[in-house]
Structures are given as C-alpha cells and as structure tokens.
Amino acid sequence: MSMETWLPALIVLSSLLPGLIIFLLREENHRARTSLNLIGAGTKLVLVGVMIWGVFHERVFETRWTLAPGLDLVLHADELSVLFVTLSTVLWLVTTVYAIGYLENAPHRSRFFGFFSLCVTATVGLALAGNLFTFVIFYEMLTLATYPLVAHKGTPEAVRGARIYLAYTLGGGMLLLVGAIWLQTIAGPLDFAQGGILGDIEGLEPATLSWIFLLLIAGLGVKAALVPMHGWLPQAMVAPAPVSALLHAVAVVKAGAFGIVRVVYDVYGVEFADSLDLLAPLGAAAAVTIIYGSVRALSQDHLKKRLAYSTISQVSYIALGTAIVGPIATIGGMVHLVHQGLMKITLFFCAGNFAETLGVHHVSQMNGVGRRMPWTMAAFTLGALGMIGVPPIAGFISKWYLATGALAAGQPWIILVLVTSSLLNAAYFLPIIYRGWFQDSAETWPDKPAAGMLETHWMLLFPPLITALLALLAGLLADAPFSPLEWARLIAAREYHP
C-alpha cells in the first residue's frame, strides 16, 4: 500500500486506537492515560501536516473498502476535508491538554478520555468521508460517542441534558439516513465531487431532489443548531467545560455545518442547487437563526448558556455563506468554519477557568475577575471582540467576506443581517468585558496557586492563551501562505471551477 492509500486511515486510527486502549486503563494509571492522549494527538497532527502538503500539491489520498456492490466506505482528502481535519486536529491537541488539567482529580477519567477520543475519531472520519454513506456512518458514531461526555457528571441535570441531546440528534440522524438512502436509490453511488454530482445525472425529478434536499438539510440542521432544531444545545451546557468546547468548536455543531457545506457544494453543486431554488430557503433559515441566537443570548445570565446561544447564531454564518451563490461568500463561510472554532473554544476554555478557579458561573458574578485572572480575561476579551467582528481578529475577516460576497451576489439584505448580528454580539459581550475589567467585585477570590506564579493551573491557562493568539494571528496574517483564508480561497476557486 502506498502512502496515498493508507494515510487517511492512519489519521482516523491515530485517535481510535488510543481511545480503545484508554478504556482498559485503571483510574489511577494517570501517566499512561496522559501519554496515550498526547501521543495520539501529536501523531495525528504530524500525519495531517503531511496530508496538507500533499493536497496542496494535488496528490490524491484515498482509502476505500468495498462493503457491497455500489456501497463503499471511503476516506478521501480534498481541500475542504483538509480544512476541517486540520481544525479538529489542532484543537483536539489543545483541548486534550485542557481536559487533563480540568479533570485532574475527577472520577471516571478513563471513561471520559476513551469517549473523548472516539468523539474526535468520528469528527475526523466525517471530515474525511469521501461519499455520503461514509459521512452518515461517522455522523451517527459522533452522536453516540458524545452522549456519555454530555452525561459525564452523572447528575440528574446532566442525564436530562444528555437525553435531550440524544433525542434531537438521533432524530436528525434518521432524517439524514432516509435522505441519503432515497438519493442513492435514484442517483446511484454518491461520491463527493467538486462542483457536485447530481447536475450531470439525467432523468432526476426536480421535485424529488427538493424533498431529498429538505431531508438532508433538516438532518444536518439539528447538529448545526438551525432554528427550530436548536433546543438541545443550551441543555447540553451541563457538560464539563472541555466537552462544551468540543461541542461548539470542533465536533457536533461544526459537523452539522460541515455537512451542509458538503451537500450543497459536493452533492448537489451550488449552481445546480440554486437552479432548483433550494438555496434561498437555506439562506433565510440561516438568517433567522443568526438573529434569534443573538437575541436569546442577551437575556442569559448563565455564562455558558450565553455562549451557547452565541454559537447558535455564529455557526449559521457558515450556512449563510453556503447559501449565497458566489466565490466571495463561499470564502467567508468556509473560513468562518475555522475562525468560529478558534474564537469559541477560547471563550469556553475561559468560562471553564472562571468556574473551576473562582466558582464563577454567571455573568452577574464576573465583576472584577480580570484583576484576579488577567490572562484568562484577556483571552476571553480577544475571543469576544472577534465574535463581534472587531479588526484585526479573525471574526472580522469572515464577516467582511460574507458582506462583500452578498453585495457581489446582489443580496444586500444580508448586510442588514450581519450588521444587526454584530450589534447584538456587542450588546451581549461588551457588558461581560466591562464587568470583568472595570467593575469592583464584592467577592473574596481564592488565593493564586503555585505561590502566586500563575492565576490557575497551567494546563487550564495555556490552552485559551494559545487559541486566542491563533484567532488573532488568523486575522493579522490572513494573506499568509497556508492561512485559513488562503485555504478557503483555494476551496472556492476549485468549487466554482472544478
């Protein structure tokens, strides 16, 4: 077997095998568990680096198993999959470090990190999926692997939140499965292809394709938290902070948004989908979700729930960019896949630090936290300003391309959506920043650990600092080679000129 054949499978196995071994470890075997986590994450990072270089130079990486005639399990690397795989791999490594520190004295760590690795395996698998069948397999694996993580604390509230999550996502998975089976029945094998595959198949009924599109987008929209299928996400905030970070920045929510991109661009083809009048309803659903999530975030005093409604709003920028026909908007949606992940994982890391170090869970408790935890609050501030769209942080780049793409496509109403959303973002983030830095606290904070050297455990402090720096650099160095923006431009160029 050549490297082009085995590399995608090795990337999946680099988290699957450590995860299966971790399940067998005793709780007290901390060193072995930590080593397996870090070796797996580091190995995946190296392998993905090789894949990035190869795909950039137009090498083809594909692992294919034929399960039955016309039914193949395919792992395939293209520009879009590499973008998502790189995000998942980098943030998995950072989140692993954070989770090790966060769960240092917690029970059931082997169970947690076992399912944690399975969750990342499923995310990477669906990112590398080369056809709709493979995507559905890993999509359902992601649902099942994430459920124990949401329920990890074992409290009645955690179990209830996990059950709500499971009910929503299994329902969405069934819709996706029905749509995939129906489409394969009438169109044959559905390998993803730049520019789409359905426009070249004769004899397909437009009405049938429209109903199938609705099923696929509804199934994916559950995980992407499109209104009205978003109800599980705020309930899932009972999960530990590393799980919340994973849900919002890397795995579940982003998997749904990524799936929408795949269906529109690489199954239907964006121009063929537009000819069937399928993109306008998707754009409308995304716009409603963007405004709704921002409005609901305003009234949330619980910090993680405010961030959850922010995610509902922000992830729909990806769907909005997908629904606008034109390469500029495509760039905005694609690059937001990465930018939102960097900014949102920073915010959830910081929320976890405030909760674990100071016992702060609500916005109303945050007066003066910046004086006790200045580095964490600085990282939170960068993430929040990026979400608002303040230059030169990464979020500004995404919104700029979405806005200019909307104008280029003759849809100026989208500018109003983006401006309204940014004003609402400011309305629910700026009060947190003001409280943290400028208001006096009536609280008596616990003493700093390590003789005052650091404001919290280093494994909790460094991850948000790293991701906040990456969010800043993604904006400052947007035109640099191999930046998220440059990679999004490459994707857009090949989607519109396959």
Per-residue pLDDT of the chain (498 residues; tens, 9 = 90+): 678 899 999 999 999 999 999 999 888 788 888 899 899 999 999 999 999 999 988 899 999 998 888 788 999 999 999 999 999 999 999 999 999 988 877 778 888 899 999 999 999 999 999 999 999 999 999 999 999 998 888 889 889 988 999 999 999 999 999 999 999 999 988 899 988 899 888 888 999 999 999 999 999 999 998 999 888 888 887 778 888 887 777 788 889 999 999 999 999 999 999 999 999 999 999 999 999 999 999 999 999 999 999 999 999 999 999 999 889 999 999 999 999 999 999 999 999 999 989 999 999 999 999 989 999 999 999 999 999 999 999 999 999 999 999 999 999 999 999 999 999 999 999 999 999 999 987 667 776 665 456 788 899 999 999 999 999 999 999 998 889 999 999 888 887 765
Instruction: Specify whether the CB–CB gap between 130 and 53 falls below 8 A.
Output: no
- Residue 71: its H or E element: strand 71-77
Instruction: Specify whether the CB–CB gap between 303 and 361 falls below 8 A.
Output: yes
- Residue 382: its H or E element: helix 374-388
Pure H helices in 300-373: 303-323, 327-353, 369-372
Q: HSE-up of 183 (CA within 13 Å, CB side)?
A: 28
3-state class (DSSP) for residue 129: strand
* pTM, to two decimals: 0.94
CA distance 388 to 472: 13
Q: How do the domains of the chain map onto residue ranges?
A: 286-498
CA distance 21 to 10: 16
Instruction: Specify whether the CB–CB gap between 220 and 262 falls below 8 A.
Output: no
Instruction: Specify whether the CB–CB gap between 309 and 296 falls below 8 A.
Output: yes
CB atoms within 10 A of CB 178: 15
